[in-house]
């Protein structure tokens, strides 16, 4: 299916999500988007597909990890050189993955967001799957990295 309009893009993405049982809702979290489709993959990791108002021929896949409070506390308690070394290694690992990433705070992040844009001309079910999987893998990598460094938080 060739995608040329926002309505076609939204329909393709929502159909794909519904067919896989991962569609959650279309609640818009910001007023700056044309549409937002929210999903949860089989591991329970949430993601959104959005079309910002300024982008007429593409959509963005976003996944985010919020640090567990115990991991945030452990990170904040590290000495600055040790913390910077850990965050550098994490960034070095992430920079070679397809999604772009952004720390909400470069010093002591509470969350990390992953995003990747898909142009309408390349929008297909396989591309949607690929981009969502790559974002989810990054979320998992961050969770595993914090677990390896600081241990699993109690009760998880």
Is residue 155 a part of any domain in this protein?
A: no
Beta bridge partners of 49: 37, 61
Is residue 96 a part of any domain in this protein?
A: yes
pLDDT at 29: 81
Is residue 57 a part of any domain in this protein?
A: yes
List the CATH number of the domain containing 71: 3.30.1460.10
**Residue 44 burial (C-beta neighbours within 10 Å; 0-12, 13-18, 19+):** exposed
Is residue 140 a part of any domain in this protein?
A: yes
Share of the chain above pLDDT 70, in %: 99
Rounded to the nearest integer, the mean pLDDT of the chain is 95
Number of domains in the chain: 1
Is residue 43 a part of any domain in this protein?
A: yes
Q: Give CA angle at 79 (76, 85), nearest 5°.
A: 95
pLDDT at 140: 96
Is residue 1 a part of any domain in this protein?
A: no
Is residue 156 a part of any domain in this protein?
A: no
Name which of 103, 80, 76 is nearest 91 in CA terms. 103
Is residue 116 a part of any domain in this protein?
A: yes
pLDDT at 1: 63
pLDDT digits 0-9 by tens, 64-98: 999 999 999 999 999 999 999 999 999 999 999 99
Range of the domain at 110: 6-150
pLDDT digits 0-9 by tens, 10-32: 999 999 999 999 999 998 888 89
Per the CB < 8 A criterion, the answer to whether 93 and 81 are in contact is no
C-alpha–C-alpha distance, residues 34 and 10, integer Å: 10
The stretch 39-66 carries a mean pLDDT of: 96
pLDDT digits 0-9 by tens, 86-138: 999 999 999 999 999 999 999 999 999 999 999 999 999 999 999 999 999 99
C-alpha–C-alpha distance, residues 20 and 28, integer Å: 21
Beta bridge partners of 62: 48, 115
């Amino acid at each position: 299916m060739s995608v040329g309009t926002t309505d076609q893009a939204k329909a393709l993405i929502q159909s794909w999500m519904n067919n896989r049982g991962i569609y959650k809702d279309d609640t818009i979290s910001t007023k700056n988007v044309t549409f937002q489709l929210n999903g949860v993959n089989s591991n329970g990791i949430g993601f959104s597909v959005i079309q910002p108002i300024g982008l007429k021929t593409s959509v963005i896949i976003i996944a985010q990890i919020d640090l567990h409070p115990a991991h945030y506390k452990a990170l904040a308690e590290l000495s600055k050189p040790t913390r910077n070394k850990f965050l550098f290694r994490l960034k070095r690992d992430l920079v070679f993955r397809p999604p772009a990433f952004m720390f909400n705070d470069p010093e002591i992040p509470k969350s990390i967001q992953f995003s990747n844009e898909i142009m309408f001309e390349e929008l297909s079910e396989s591309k949607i799957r690929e981009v969502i999987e790559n974002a989810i893998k990054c979320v998992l990598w961050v969770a595993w990295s914090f677990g390896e460094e600081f241990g699993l938080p109690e009760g998880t």
